[in-house]
Amino acid sequence: MELNRKQFDILEALATSKEPLTQRKLEDTTGYSLGTINRVVKELSKEGLIHRGTITDDGIQALEPYRCKRAVFIAAGFGTRLVPITLNTPKPLVRVYGVRIIDRLIDACLEAGIDEIWVVRGYLGELFDQLLYKYPMVRFLENPAYNEANNISSSLVARHLLSNAYVFEADLLISNPSIIRKYHYTSDFLGIKKQRSDDWCFRVKDGVIVEEKVGGEGDDIWQMVGISYWNEADGRKLSQDIQDVYNSPGGKERYWEQVPLVYRKEHYTVEIRECFEEDIVEIDTFKELKAIDKTYDI
Protein backbone atom coordinates (compact mmCIF):
# COMPACT_ATOMS: atom_id res chain seq x y z
CA MET A 1 0.00 0.00 0.00
CA GLU A 2 1.33 3.44 -0.96
CA LEU A 3 0.81 5.84 1.91
CA ASN A 4 -0.29 9.45 1.63
CA ARG A 5 1.50 12.00 3.77
CA LYS A 6 -0.97 12.01 6.65
CA GLN A 7 -1.07 8.21 6.79
CA PHE A 8 2.73 8.11 6.81
CA ASP A 9 3.06 10.71 9.56
CA ILE A 10 0.67 8.87 11.86
CA LEU A 11 2.18 5.44 11.21
CA GLU A 12 5.69 6.86 11.67
CA ALA A 13 4.71 8.43 14.99
CA LEU A 14 3.26 5.13 16.22
CA ALA A 15 6.25 3.11 14.98
CA THR A 16 8.90 5.29 16.60
CA SER A 17 7.22 6.17 19.88
CA LYS A 18 8.48 4.42 22.98
CA GLU A 19 4.98 4.48 24.47
CA PRO A 20 1.40 4.03 23.17
CA LEU A 21 -0.03 7.19 21.61
CA THR A 22 -3.60 8.27 22.12
CA GLN A 23 -5.24 10.36 19.41
CA ARG A 24 -4.65 13.39 21.61
CA LYS A 25 -0.94 12.58 21.78
CA LEU A 26 -0.91 12.01 18.01
CA GLU A 27 -2.36 15.51 17.66
CA ASP A 28 0.57 16.91 19.65
CA THR A 29 3.13 14.81 17.78
CA THR A 30 1.97 15.34 14.20
CA GLY A 31 0.33 18.76 14.37
CA TYR A 32 -2.80 17.48 12.65
CA SER A 33 -6.24 18.29 14.00
CA LEU A 34 -8.06 15.73 16.10
CA GLY A 35 -10.64 15.34 13.35
CA THR A 36 -7.95 14.57 10.75
CA ILE A 37 -6.29 12.06 13.06
CA ASN A 38 -9.59 10.34 13.78
CA ARG A 39 -10.31 10.00 10.06
CA VAL A 40 -6.83 8.75 9.14
CA VAL A 41 -6.70 6.29 12.05
CA LYS A 42 -9.98 4.82 10.77
CA GLU A 43 -8.46 4.48 7.27
CA LEU A 44 -5.36 2.77 8.62
CA SER A 45 -7.39 0.51 10.89
CA LYS A 46 -9.56 -0.56 7.96
CA GLU A 47 -6.39 -1.51 6.04
CA GLY A 48 -5.11 -3.52 9.02
CA LEU A 49 -2.14 -1.21 9.59
CA ILE A 50 -3.36 -0.14 13.04
CA HIS A 51 -5.23 -2.19 15.63
CA ARG A 52 -6.65 -0.46 18.68
CA GLY A 53 -4.27 2.44 18.30
CA THR A 54 -1.16 0.29 17.92
CA ILE A 55 0.75 -0.23 14.69
CA THR A 56 0.58 -3.80 13.37
CA ASP A 57 3.16 -5.91 11.55
CA ASP A 58 1.43 -4.94 8.31
CA GLY A 59 1.80 -1.30 9.35
CA ILE A 60 5.53 -1.76 9.86
CA GLN A 61 5.70 -3.41 6.44
CA ALA A 62 3.86 -0.47 4.89
CA LEU A 63 6.59 1.82 6.24
CA GLU A 64 9.40 -0.31 4.79
CA PRO A 65 9.76 1.65 1.51
CA TYR A 66 10.30 4.78 3.62
CA ARG A 67 12.92 3.27 5.94
CA CYS A 68 16.47 4.58 5.91
CA LYS A 69 18.71 1.69 4.87
CA ARG A 70 22.16 3.21 5.37
CA ALA A 71 24.23 6.23 6.35
CA VAL A 72 27.11 7.66 4.32
CA PHE A 73 29.61 9.90 6.08
CA ILE A 74 31.70 12.32 4.04
CA ALA A 75 34.92 12.44 6.03
CA ALA A 76 37.78 12.83 3.55
CA GLY A 77 38.69 16.52 3.90
CA PHE A 78 41.65 18.25 5.52
CA GLY A 79 39.77 20.34 8.10
CA THR A 80 42.29 23.14 7.52
CA ARG A 81 40.41 25.72 9.58
CA LEU A 82 40.81 23.53 12.67
CA VAL A 83 44.61 23.56 12.52
CA PRO A 84 46.63 22.76 14.63
CA ILE A 85 44.36 19.96 15.93
CA THR A 86 43.86 18.53 12.45
CA LEU A 87 47.55 18.37 11.59
CA ASN A 88 47.56 14.79 12.89
CA THR A 89 43.84 14.03 13.37
CA PRO A 90 41.03 14.14 10.78
CA LYS A 91 38.35 16.58 11.91
CA PRO A 92 35.62 13.93 12.46
CA LEU A 93 37.94 12.14 14.91
CA VAL A 94 38.63 15.26 17.00
CA ARG A 95 37.31 14.79 20.52
CA VAL A 96 34.88 17.22 22.09
CA TYR A 97 34.26 16.61 25.79
CA GLY A 98 36.28 13.43 25.34
CA VAL A 99 34.09 11.96 22.57
CA ARG A 100 34.98 11.89 18.87
CA ILE A 101 32.71 14.14 16.81
CA ILE A 102 31.72 11.33 14.44
CA ASP A 103 30.84 8.98 17.31
CA ARG A 104 27.80 11.01 18.29
CA LEU A 105 26.53 10.89 14.71
CA ILE A 106 27.07 7.14 14.41
CA ASP A 107 25.40 6.59 17.78
CA ALA A 108 22.37 8.58 16.59
CA CYS A 109 22.15 6.39 13.49
CA LEU A 110 22.33 3.19 15.51
CA GLU A 111 19.69 4.48 17.91
CA ALA A 112 17.42 5.04 14.89
CA GLY A 113 18.00 1.47 13.70
CA ILE A 114 20.41 2.44 10.89
CA ASP A 115 23.32 0.02 11.14
CA GLU A 116 24.74 0.02 7.60
CA ILE A 117 27.42 2.69 8.05
CA TRP A 118 29.82 3.86 5.32
CA VAL A 119 32.65 6.33 5.88
CA VAL A 120 34.31 8.00 2.90
CA ARG A 121 37.87 8.75 3.99
CA GLY A 122 40.90 10.43 2.48
CA TYR A 123 43.15 12.66 4.61
CA LEU A 124 44.92 10.50 7.22
CA GLY A 125 42.45 7.84 6.22
CA GLU A 126 44.12 4.99 8.10
CA LEU A 127 43.30 6.71 11.41
CA PHE A 128 39.61 5.96 10.86
CA ASP A 129 40.41 2.28 11.46
CA GLN A 130 40.17 3.08 15.18
CA LEU A 131 36.39 3.33 14.73
CA LEU A 132 36.23 -0.42 14.19
CA TYR A 133 36.96 -1.18 17.86
CA LYS A 134 33.71 0.49 18.88
CA TYR A 135 31.78 0.15 15.61
CA PRO A 136 32.73 -3.12 13.88
CA MET A 137 29.89 -2.61 11.36
CA VAL A 138 31.56 0.45 9.81
CA ARG A 139 32.78 0.06 6.23
CA PHE A 140 35.14 2.39 4.43
CA LEU A 141 35.30 3.91 0.97
CA GLU A 142 38.54 5.48 -0.21
CA ASN A 143 38.51 8.88 -1.91
CA PRO A 144 41.73 9.09 -3.95
CA ALA A 145 40.93 12.64 -5.12
CA TYR A 146 40.38 14.26 -1.70
CA ASN A 147 43.45 16.49 -2.10
CA GLU A 148 42.56 17.75 -5.57
CA ALA A 149 38.75 18.03 -5.60
CA ASN A 150 35.96 19.29 -3.38
CA ASN A 151 33.62 16.98 -1.46
CA ILE A 152 31.78 16.06 -4.64
CA SER A 153 34.66 13.58 -5.06
CA SER A 154 33.53 11.81 -1.88
CA SER A 155 29.94 11.56 -3.12
CA LEU A 156 31.31 10.19 -6.39
CA VAL A 157 32.83 7.13 -4.72
CA ALA A 158 29.62 6.61 -2.70
CA ARG A 159 27.18 7.39 -5.50
CA HIS A 160 25.75 3.86 -5.72
CA LEU A 161 24.83 3.89 -2.00
CA LEU A 162 22.61 6.96 -1.88
CA SER A 163 19.14 5.39 -2.23
CA ASN A 164 17.20 5.33 1.07
CA ALA A 165 20.27 6.87 2.65
CA TYR A 166 21.41 9.63 4.92
CA VAL A 167 24.41 11.66 3.81
CA PHE A 168 26.33 13.31 6.65
CA GLU A 169 29.06 15.85 6.80
CA ALA A 170 31.05 13.92 9.37
CA ASP A 171 32.24 16.92 11.39
CA LEU A 172 28.92 18.04 12.88
CA LEU A 173 28.60 18.04 16.66
CA ILE A 174 25.15 16.64 17.43
CA SER A 175 23.49 17.05 20.81
CA ASN A 176 19.96 15.87 19.93
CA PRO A 177 20.13 12.40 18.36
CA SER A 178 16.36 12.33 17.78
CA ILE A 179 16.80 14.55 14.69
CA ILE A 180 18.03 11.37 12.97
CA ARG A 181 14.87 9.58 11.92
CA LYS A 182 14.31 6.00 10.86
CA TYR A 183 11.57 6.81 8.33
CA HIS A 184 11.28 9.60 5.74
CA TYR A 185 8.39 10.30 3.40
CA THR A 186 10.63 11.99 0.82
CA SER A 187 14.09 13.42 0.31
CA ASP A 188 14.92 16.19 2.76
CA PHE A 189 17.66 18.42 4.10
CA LEU A 190 17.99 19.59 7.68
CA GLY A 191 17.89 23.34 8.20
CA ILE A 192 17.55 25.98 10.91
CA LYS A 193 14.98 28.73 10.37
CA LYS A 194 16.66 32.13 10.24
CA GLN A 195 15.70 35.69 9.50
CA ARG A 196 19.23 36.30 8.29
CA SER A 197 22.27 34.13 7.56
CA ASP A 198 25.80 34.83 6.30
CA ASP A 199 26.43 31.11 5.89
CA TRP A 200 25.29 28.56 3.34
CA CYS A 201 21.52 28.65 3.37
CA PHE A 202 18.36 27.66 1.53
CA ARG A 203 15.46 29.64 0.24
CA VAL A 204 12.33 27.62 0.91
CA LYS A 205 8.83 27.84 -0.56
CA ASP A 206 5.95 25.71 0.72
CA GLY A 207 8.39 23.47 2.57
CA VAL A 208 10.52 22.76 -0.51
CA ILE A 209 14.07 24.02 -1.12
CA VAL A 210 14.07 26.27 -4.19
CA GLU A 211 17.55 27.78 -3.95
CA GLU A 212 20.90 27.19 -2.25
CA LYS A 213 23.13 30.20 -1.76
CA VAL A 214 25.59 31.91 0.58
CA GLY A 215 23.85 34.48 2.75
CA GLY A 216 20.28 35.68 2.72
CA GLU A 217 17.53 37.27 4.75
CA GLY A 218 13.77 37.08 4.92
CA ASP A 219 10.99 34.79 6.06
CA ASP A 220 12.01 32.06 3.60
CA ILE A 221 15.65 31.62 4.71
CA TRP A 222 16.95 28.47 6.40
CA GLN A 223 20.57 27.90 7.38
CA MET A 224 21.87 24.67 5.89
CA VAL A 225 22.80 21.78 8.17
CA GLY A 226 24.95 19.18 6.43
CA ILE A 227 22.61 16.23 6.98
CA SER A 228 20.28 15.06 4.23
CA TYR A 229 18.17 12.04 3.34
CA TRP A 230 17.59 10.70 -0.18
CA ASN A 231 14.75 8.37 -1.10
CA GLU A 232 15.13 5.43 -3.43
CA ALA A 233 14.27 7.21 -6.67
CA ASP A 234 16.37 10.29 -5.93
CA GLY A 235 19.31 8.12 -4.88
CA ARG A 236 19.24 6.42 -8.28
CA LYS A 237 19.19 9.79 -10.04
CA LEU A 238 22.04 11.08 -7.88
CA SER A 239 24.21 8.15 -8.94
CA GLN A 240 24.21 9.44 -12.51
CA ASP A 241 23.95 13.17 -11.86
CA ILE A 242 26.92 13.25 -9.48
CA GLN A 243 29.10 11.59 -12.10
CA ASP A 244 27.88 13.93 -14.85
CA VAL A 245 28.48 17.10 -12.82
CA TYR A 246 31.86 15.87 -11.59
CA ASN A 247 32.96 15.27 -15.19
CA SER A 248 31.66 18.65 -16.41
CA PRO A 249 33.93 21.74 -16.67
CA GLY A 250 34.73 22.91 -13.16
CA GLY A 251 32.88 19.93 -11.72
CA LYS A 252 35.64 18.92 -9.31
CA GLU A 253 35.27 22.26 -7.50
CA ARG A 254 31.61 21.70 -6.61
CA TYR A 255 30.14 20.81 -3.27
CA TRP A 256 28.26 17.55 -3.49
CA GLU A 257 24.83 18.91 -2.50
CA GLN A 258 25.01 21.43 -5.35
CA VAL A 259 24.29 18.52 -7.70
CA PRO A 260 20.63 18.09 -6.62
CA LEU A 261 20.12 21.66 -5.38
CA VAL A 262 21.84 23.70 -8.12
CA TYR A 263 23.23 21.94 -11.19
CA ARG A 264 20.53 19.27 -11.59
CA LYS A 265 17.83 20.85 -9.43
CA GLU A 266 15.13 20.18 -12.04
CA HIS A 267 15.46 16.46 -11.25
CA TYR A 268 14.63 16.75 -7.53
CA THR A 269 12.06 17.97 -5.02
CA VAL A 270 13.84 18.27 -1.69
CA GLU A 271 11.93 19.26 1.42
CA ILE A 272 13.31 21.19 4.38
CA ARG A 273 13.24 19.43 7.74
CA GLU A 274 13.52 21.67 10.74
CA CYS A 275 16.05 21.41 13.52
CA PHE A 276 17.31 23.99 15.98
CA GLU A 277 20.61 25.58 16.94
CA GLU A 278 20.69 23.64 20.21
CA ASP A 279 20.40 20.34 18.29
CA ILE A 280 23.63 20.50 16.30
CA VAL A 281 26.60 22.75 15.58
CA GLU A 282 29.37 22.80 13.01
CA ILE A 283 32.73 23.63 14.55
CA ASP A 284 34.43 25.56 11.77
CA THR A 285 37.55 26.94 13.46
CA PHE A 286 39.96 26.17 16.27
CA LYS A 287 38.68 29.29 18.04
CA GLU A 288 35.14 27.86 18.00
CA LEU A 289 36.44 24.53 19.30
CA LYS A 290 38.15 26.27 22.22
CA ALA A 291 34.96 28.16 23.02
CA ILE A 292 32.97 24.90 23.19
CA ASP A 293 35.54 22.69 24.92
CA LYS A 294 37.73 24.60 27.36
CA THR A 295 40.31 21.81 27.52
CA TYR A 296 41.67 23.12 24.20
CA ASP A 297 42.00 26.66 25.56
CA ILE A 298 45.55 26.39 26.85
CA-to-CA distance for 1 and 166, rounded, in angstroms?
A: 24
CA-to-CA distance for 171 and 77, rounded, in angstroms?
A: 10
Residue extents of the structural domains in the chain: 5-65, 68-296
286 near 296, Cβ under 8 Å? yes
Q: What is the pTM of this model?
A: 0.94
Task: Please report the pLDDT score of residue 293 as a whole number.
Answer: 87
Domain 68-296 has CATH 3.30.300.160: no
Task: Please report the pLDDT score of residue 78 as a whole number.
Answer: 83
Q: Return the axis-axis angle of helices 5-16 and 34-46, rounded to nearest 10°.
A: 80
Contacts of 24 (CB under 8 A, 6+ apart): 34
Query: What is Dmax (Cα atoms) for the chain?
Result: 64
Could you list the beta-strand ranges (E) of 58-207: 70-75, 95-96, 99-100, 117-121, 139-142, 165-169, 172-174, 188-205
Task: Please report the pLDDT score of residue 83 as a whole number.
Answer: 80
- CATH number for the segment(s) 5-65: 1.10.10.10
Per residue of the chain (298 residues), what is the pLDDT tens digit?
Answer: 799 999 999 999 999 988 888 888 999 989 999 999 999 999 999 999 999 889 999 999 999 999 999 999 999 998 887 888 888 999 999 999 999 999 999 999 999 999 999 999 999 999 999 999 999 999 999 999 999 999 999 999 999 999 999 999 999 999 999 999 999 999 999 999 999 999 999 999 999 999 999 998 999 999 999 999 999 999 999 999 999 999 999 999 999 999 999 999 999 999 999 999 999 988 888 888 888 888 887 6
**Alpha carbon distances (Å) from 53 to 23, 47, 66, 81:** 8, 13, 21, 51
